[in-house]
Amino acid sequence: MSKAASPYFKEQESGSFIHFTSTSGLVGNFGQANYAAAKMGIVGLSKSIALDMARFHVRSNCVSPFAWVAPDRHPSPSTRPRRRRAWNASRPP
């Protein structure tokens, strides 16, 4: 996608690439060496694009979403009381 969009961004002398990666690539995770390497590769790609396209006023950034849940809380997929009770009943203690 980046290769396909580059000529258009160069011609208009503006644009922004937004790549999605994972915190597994940024900080690592147990048993995910191959996944972490792939996600860190996206960061390297984005940085290289940023360097190459800077002279055309084109930016390249990565987004790395992360979800955190307190150990004593489990998110419920619903706000409805009946479904929430069913969800909580299915969770391990």
DSSP 14-54: -EEEEEE--HHHHH--TT-HHHHHHHHHHHHHHHHHHHHHG
Which of 5, 26, 32, 35 is catalytic? The answer is 35
Active site residue 8: no
Place of tokens 């479904």: 83
Q: Which residues are known to be catalytic?
A: 35
